[in-house]
């Protein structure tokens, strides 16, 4: 059974860079036909796609966040990572890592990790 | 960008009654080459990640009870819970993945017991 697990600091200071890693187990991140993405959810609000990466390293970002987002992949560790720069309080959210493709949408999700931006 | 809207924002339904949620996309998510709508529905309970219920607008994910059904095509879609159970209290989101790897979610509809 595929599992995804987010890890990283739960508290980030304003103007700094948020960094999270997603570790994939029970399957290979190098599987074709799937993308590996980040989705966030501010407290009490809806879901926002941040960006995704293919195992080859091709990246795709939400235009509204593109200038601040970097997603990378480490196939040797079966991990992919998110960096979001110049964070503000508006970036406080639960961050989910997930697998998605063109057939079924987002079929596997991590449990999510709350990241709070505060001094 | 494809913008997704949902209605209503929330609804309260008696146990055993039908719940209906609507979703609309700003452009068609029907892929003409395979005649499939790239529209999914998710259920999210408090403190949990969303769970995939339906994809291709009307195909239930494995293990999803058959009281959940999806319908619609093009730009207008519906999620129906035929007989609401207590465990169905949740927020429901539609999502277009026509523009995969880019995708967008609707704002969500909260379902409660009346």
pLDDT in tens, A37-72: 999 999 999 999 999 999 889 999 999 999 999 999
Q: Which residues of A touch B42 (CB under 8 A)?
A: 105-106
**B68–chain A Cβ distance below 8 A for any pair:** no
State the pLDDT at residue A109.
Answer: 98
State the pLDDT at residue A33.
Answer: 85
**Average of per-residue pLDDT across A93-110:** 95
State the pLDDT at residue A31.
Answer: 83
State the pLDDT at residue B18.
Answer: 98
Subunit contact A47:B103, Cβ cutoff 8 A:
no
A32, pLDDT greater than 90: no
What values do phi and psi take at B86, rounded to 5?
-60, -35
User: Taking CA atoms, what residue in A is nearest to B1?
Assistant: A63
B108, pLDDT greater than 90: yes
Q: What is the spatial distance between Cα B37 and Cα A95, in angstroms, rounded to a whole number?
A: 28
Q: Which residues make Cβ contacts (< 8 Å) with residue A82, sequence separation at least 6?
A: A18, A19, A20, A21, A22, A38, A50, A51, A69, A70, A71, A95, A97
DSSP A67: G
Q: Which residues of A touch B61 (CB under 8 A)?
A: 104, 107
A102, pLDDT greater than 90: no
> CA A35, A116, B107, A107: dihedral to nearest 10 degrees?
30
State the pLDDT at residue A87.
Answer: 98
The C-alpha of B94 sits at a distance from chain A's nearest C-alpha, in angstroms, of: 10
Q: Sort A25 into a burial class: Cβ within 10 Å, 0-12 / 13-18 / 19+.
A: exposed
Q: Sort B37 into a burial class: Cβ within 10 Å, 0-12 / 13-18 / 19+.
A: buried
State the pLDDT at residue A25.
Answer: 96
**Average of per-residue pLDDT across A103-111:** 95
**Average of per-residue pLDDT across A62-84:** 96
pLDDT in tens, B61-85: 999 999 999 999 999 999 999 999 9
Q: Which residues of B touch A101 (CB under 8 A)?
A: 100
Report whether A41 contacts A96 (CB < 8 A): yes
**B33–chain A Cβ distance below 8 A for any pair:** no
State the pLDDT at residue A82.
Answer: 98
């Amino acid at each position: 059974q595929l599992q995804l697990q987010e890890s990283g600091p739960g508290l980030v200071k304003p103007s700094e860079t948020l960094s999270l890693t997603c570790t994939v187990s029970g399957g290979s991140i190098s599987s074709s036909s799937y993308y590996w993405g980040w989705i966030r959810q501010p407290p009490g609000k809806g879901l926002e796609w941040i960006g995704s990466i293919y195992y080859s390293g091709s990246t795709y970002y939400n235009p509204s966040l593109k200038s601040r987002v970097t997603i990378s992949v480490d196939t040797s560790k079966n991990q992919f990572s998110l960096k979001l720069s110049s964070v503000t309080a508006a970036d406080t959210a639960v961050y989910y890592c997930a697998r998605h493709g063109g057939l079924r949408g987002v079929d596997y999700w991590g449990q999510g990790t709350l990241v709070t931006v505060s001094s | 960008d494809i913008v997704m809207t949902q209605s209503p924002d929330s609804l309260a339904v008696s146990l055993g009654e039908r719940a209906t949620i609507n979703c609309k996309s700003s452009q068609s998510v029907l892929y003409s080459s395979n005649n499939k709508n790239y529209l999914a529905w998710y259920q999210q309970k408090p403190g949990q990640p969303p769970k995939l219920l339906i994809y291709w607008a009307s195909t239930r994910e494995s293990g999803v009870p058959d009281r959940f059904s999806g319908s619609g095509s093009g730009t207008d879609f519906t999620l129906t819970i035929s007989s609401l159970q207590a465990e169905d209290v949740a927020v429901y989101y539609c999502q277009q993945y026509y523009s995969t790897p880019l995708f967008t979610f609707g704002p969500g509809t909260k379902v409660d017991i009346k």
